[in-house]
C-alpha cells in the first residue's frame, strides 16, 4: 500500500467558534442523475457546509461534471471500490467534522444542522450516525423493509463491534478522529463495507452515537435482486472476517466492559 498522503490543513468555521465546520464527502461512480438530486438537497441545508467533496471513482458518465456544476470539489480516485473512494474523500476534507452520505442519499434541510448541533454540544463525541427510509419503495412495503434491514443491521453489527455501528449513507466523525485511524482502514479491498470497517477501527474506546432523529432518504436499489443481496452479505462477512483476525469479538467486548 502506498504511503498515505498528508492531510490538508483544517479550515476554521465561519460561524461561532464552538460550532464545527462541516465537510460533506460523497463517493460516487457513474451516478450522475442521483448525484444531481443529492447535491441540490445539500445546497438547501439550513446549515451550510464549509465544502462538498465528491470523489469520482472512475466514472464514465457525467458524475464529475455534475459535481463541478454544483460547486463541489471533485477529487479523483482511480482505485476501484467504495473503501478507497471514501478514504480519499476523508483525507481531502478540510472541515472540523466530516459528514458522509451516498450519491443516492436524500438529506432533509436540517440534516447538517443536526450534525453540527450534536457535535458542538458534545466535544467528546468522535462519531455520529443516523437512520433513514427508502424513498423509492411502495408505501406499504417501506416500513417493513426499513425495520428489517436497518434494524437488523444496527443490532447485529453492534454485537460484532462491541459498540455502535456506522451506516455509510448517514454518518459524521471528527476530522481529528479520522487522522488517528486512517492508517488502519482497509482502503485497497473493494469487497469490504467501508462503514463497518471504519467502525472497527474506531474501536470501543472511542465514542460513537446513534441518533434516530438524524434521518436521510436512500434508494432501495441495493436491496433489489438476489445478486445484490448476496453481494452485500458476502461483503459483510468478509469485513467481519478481516477485522476479527485482528481482534475477535469477545476481546472487543472484554475491552469495552473493562
- Across the beta sheet with 127-134, the strand order is 73-76, 51-56, 22-28, 97-100, 171-174, 127-134, 208-218
Mean confidence (pLDDT) of the chain: 91
Per the listing, cell 426499513 goes with 146
Give the mean pLDDT of 207-226: 87
- 222: helix, strand or coil: helix
Enter the C-alpha cell of residue 129: 450516525
Task: Report whether pLDDT(2) > 50.
Answer: no
Confidence check: pLDDT of 16 > 90:
no
Model confidence at 124: pLDDT above 90 = yes
Quickly state the pLDDT bin for 7 (edges 50, 70, 90): low
Residue 110's nearest CA partner among 214, 218, 40 is 214
pLDDT score, position 258:
78
pLDDT tens by residue, 133-176: 999 998 898 888 888 888 888 999 999 999 999 999 999 999 99
3-state secondary structure of 78: coil
| Residues 223-249 pLDDT 10s | 666 677 688 888 889 999 999 999 988
Q: What pTM does this model have?
A: 0.90
Q: What pLDDT does 224 receive?
A: 67
Amino acid at each position: 500500500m502506498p504511503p498515505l498522503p498528508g492531510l490538508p490543513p483544517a479550515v476554521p468555521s465561519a460561524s461561532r467558534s464552538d460550532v464545527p465546520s462541516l465537510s460533506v464527502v460523497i463517493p460516487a461512480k457513474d451516478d450522475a442523475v442521483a448525484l444531481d438530486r443529492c447535491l441540490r438537497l445539500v445546497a438547501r441545508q439550513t446549515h451550510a457546509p464549509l465544502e462538498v467533496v465528491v470523489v469520482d471513482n472512475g466514472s464514465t458518465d457525467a458524475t464529475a461534471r455534475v459535481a463541478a456544476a454544483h460547486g463541489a470539489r471533485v477529487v479523483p480516485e482511480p482505485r476501484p471500490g467504495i473503501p478507497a473512494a471514501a478514504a480519499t474523500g476523508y483525507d481531502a476534507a478540510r472541515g472540523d467534522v466530516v459528514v458522509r452520505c451516498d450519491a443516492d442519499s436524500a438529506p432533509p434541510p436540517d440534516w447538517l444542522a443536526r450534525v453540527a448541533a450534536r457535535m458542538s454540544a458534545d466535544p467528546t463525541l468522535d462519531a455520529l450516525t443516523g437512520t433513514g427510509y427508502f424513498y423509492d419503495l411502495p408505501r406499504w412495503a417501506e416500513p417493513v423493509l426499513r425495520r428489517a434491514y436497518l434494524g437488523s443491521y444496527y443490532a447485529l453489527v453492534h454485537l460484532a463491534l462491541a459498540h455502535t455501528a456506522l451506516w455509510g449513507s448517514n454518518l459524521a466523525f471528527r476530522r481529528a478522529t479520522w487522522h488517528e485511524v486512517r492508517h488502519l482502514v482497509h482502503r485497497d479491498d473493494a469487497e469490504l463495507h467501508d462503514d463497518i470497517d471504519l467502525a472497527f477501527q474506531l474501536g470501543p474506546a472511542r465514542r460513537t452515537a446513534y441518533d434516530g432523529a438524524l434521518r436521510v432518504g436512500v434508494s432501495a436499489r441495493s436491496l433489489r435482486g438476489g445478486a445484490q443481496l448476496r453481494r452485500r452479505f458476502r461483503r459483510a462477512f468478509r469485513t467481519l472476517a478481516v477485522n476479527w483476525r485482528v481482534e475477535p469479538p469477545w476481546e472487543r467486548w472484554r475491552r469495552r466492559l473493562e
